[in-house]
Amino acid sequence: MPPRHQRPRVRVSASGRPSLATRVSDVGSPAYQLVEKTIRQAFPDVIVAPYLVLGGTDAKHYEAVSDNLLRFLPQHGRSGPEAAHGTDERVGVGNYASIVNFYALLMQNSN
């Protein structure tokens, strides 16, 4: 038997069904190009590149109505337990202003 400090205190079991990954979005699509253009306008000093989202998102619910599911939040600065997805989750005032500005530009660019 393992020492007391190595014994699990909680037993965990899986429930439900895992879902498949969503489709890969086309970086040549008008939707991606629109988001990329807007990122460059709002944040001229950043590098824009696609990436893989490892966590499950609500995007799976939109596959029936959209060919491209783009996940982007224009947030910068600290991350971790003191920011998103932690206890007392919050967004700083500076980040909030950047987010609002980005989405205002995105709507303008969308015509």
Residue 79 has pLDDT above 60, yes or no: no
pLDDT for res 29:
95
Q: Which residue has the higher pLDDT, 83 or 37?
A: 37
**Which pLDDT belongs to residue 84?**
62
Q: Which residues, 6 or more positions from 104, have their beta carbon under 8 angstroms from its beta carbon?
A: none
Using alpha carbons only, give the angle 54, 56, 58 rounded to the nearest 5 degrees: 135
With contact defined as beta carbons under 8 Å apart, do 77 and 94 qualify? yes
Token pair, residue 69, equals 């599911």
Can you list the domains of the chain with their CATH numbers? 24-110 (1.10.150.900)
Mean of the pLDDT values across residues 18-29?
87
pTM, two decimals, is 0.73
Give 99 or 5, the one with higher predicted confidence: 99
Residues ≥6 apart with Cβ < 8 Å to 48? 36, 39, 40
